[in-house]
Amino acid sequence: MKTLIVGLTCGLLSLPLWALDAPDEQRLAAIQQEWAHVQYEVPEAQRSDAFEKLSAQASSFVQARPQVAEAWIWSGIVTSSWAGAQGGLGALSKVKQAKADLEKALSLDPKALQGSAYVSLAALYDRVPGWPIGFGDTEKAGQLLEQGLKLNPNGIDPLYFWGDHLYRQGHYAQAKDALTKALKAAPRPGREKADAGRRQEIGQLLADVEKKLK
C-alpha cells in the first residue's frame, strides 16, 4: 500500500496569499514550511510521527477558519502526506479524509492557490488503489490535472504531476515534455526547500522516462 500512495503529496503554494489576512498568511506559511522540512529533510522512519504533529496544526487552522479554502487545501496535503509516510491499509482512512478536505476546498474556491486542490486531489486518484479497496481512478485524475493546469499552466507542481500521470499511462514522450517544462518553472519565493525537493523528484522521474524511451 505504501508504494501506491507514497509521493502523492504536492506541497503547492505559488501565489501570494492576497485573499488572506496577515495572521492567516503567517499560519499557512508556517504549515507549508514545516511540510517541506518533513517531506524532504526528516528521515523516513520519523516522517509519519512528524506529519501527525503537523496534521494537528493544519486541523486547528481549519477549525479556526472553516471558510478559508487554503486551510482545507493544506489540511488535505498534510493528511495525504501522513498517509504516504505511514503506508499500509491503515493509511486508507487518512487518504479518504484528505480527499474530503480537498473537495471541501474546491467547493469554497476552486481557484485558491492557482487550483492546487485540483492537482492534489488528482495525485490521490492517480496513486490510491481502485475499487474495491480505494477510490483510485486514472481517468478522474487526468480530468482534475487538466483543470489544475488551466489555472497554473507553468507551475512546477501541476507539471510534475501531469508528467507523472502521463508516465503511468505509458505516454513517455509527452511525459518527458511535461517534466522538462516543470524544471523550467519559475522559482517560488519562500519555497526554496520545496522547489529543490520537487526538482529532485522530477529528475528521478525523468531518468525513468528516458529508460522507457530507449
Cα–Cα distance, 10 to 20 (Å, whole number): 21
- Count of C-beta atoms within a 10 Å radius of residue 36: 20
* pLDDT score, position 144: 98
Cα–Cα distance, 160 to 172 (Å, whole number): 13
Domain count, the chain: 1
* pLDDT score, position 157: 97
* pLDDT score, position 19: 57
Beta-carbon contacts of 143 under 8 Å, excluding residues fewer than 6 positions away, are none
Beta-carbon contacts of 86 under 8 Å, excluding residues fewer than 6 positions away, are 2, 48, 94
First to last CA, the chain: 30
- Which tens digit of pLDDT belongs to each residue from 124-139? 999 999 998 899 999 9
pTM here is: 0.90
Where would I find the H helices in the chain? Answer: 2-5, 22-41, 44-64, 69-86, 92-108, 116-127, 138-151, 156-168, 172-183, 192-213
CATH number at residue 66: 1.25.40.10
Burial class for 178, CB neighbours closer than 10 Å (0-12, 13-18, 19+): buried
Give the chain's length.
Answer: 214
Given a cut of 50, the residues of the chain with pLDDT beneath it are 1-8, 12-18
Cα–Cα distance, 21 to 123 (Å, whole number): 29
Domain extent, residue 74, equals 2-213
Residue type present at position 99: K
